[in-house]
Structure 1
Amino acid sequence: MTQPITMDIPHQQGREGVRAKLDRGVGKIAGVVPGGVVADHRWDGDTLHFTIEGMGQRVASRVEIFEDKVHAVIDLPPFLALFADKIREKLAKEAPKLLK
């Protein structure tokens, strides 16, 4: 099993504001995987669980909302782990835009 990509993204909108933005933008998150689409998503309290499908792979992911940050965890399968640095870089660039 590969190490997941984890990232904290600061925000100042409160939990409800961030939740609404994630609901509207969950499909955009899939862009971290080339050709990726969000296959499913569900909320469990303040945690959004979703699956990205792309490049013939399934990527289990989750984001947990806190008052001042969002904690993201992307569990890459072994094949996509080869591209972890690129995916991490793209996530670091694009994820904060979803919360603005």
Structure 2
Amino acid sequence: MAQVAEAERRERETRQQLNFPGDRGPYGGDPQDLAEQWVARHAEWRRVAALMDGQEARERDARREGALARHTAWEKERQDARDELKAQVWLSADVSRRLRAIAARTGWLCS
């Protein structure tokens, strides 16, 4: 994250200014106060970066789990399709009537 790097650089620069008091630049100000501000900003940006990394990891894990669940469901559908046997037989009307009558007598015909 660019903000973390920027805060780290500014923190380092303000610490160096504390070690070499001299020209404080056009803005002047208390270098100790500035150093403390950049230390706080650096810590805050590291915290934000860690939260964002954690959120991205959780989102990545959720996407991965969803993909695995979809893949598992797809494999189960494929296995069920392999296990299922379908057959269609076209019979003449006469043969069909006789088979229905036999099935009805034996209890195989449900409707």
* Greater share of residues in strand: 1
| TM norm. shorter chain > 0.5 | no
Asked which structure has the greater CA Rg, the reply is: 2
* Greater share of residues in helix: 2
TM-score by length of 2: 0.22
Q: Which protein has greater RCO, CA pairs closer than 8 Å, 6+ apart?
A: 1
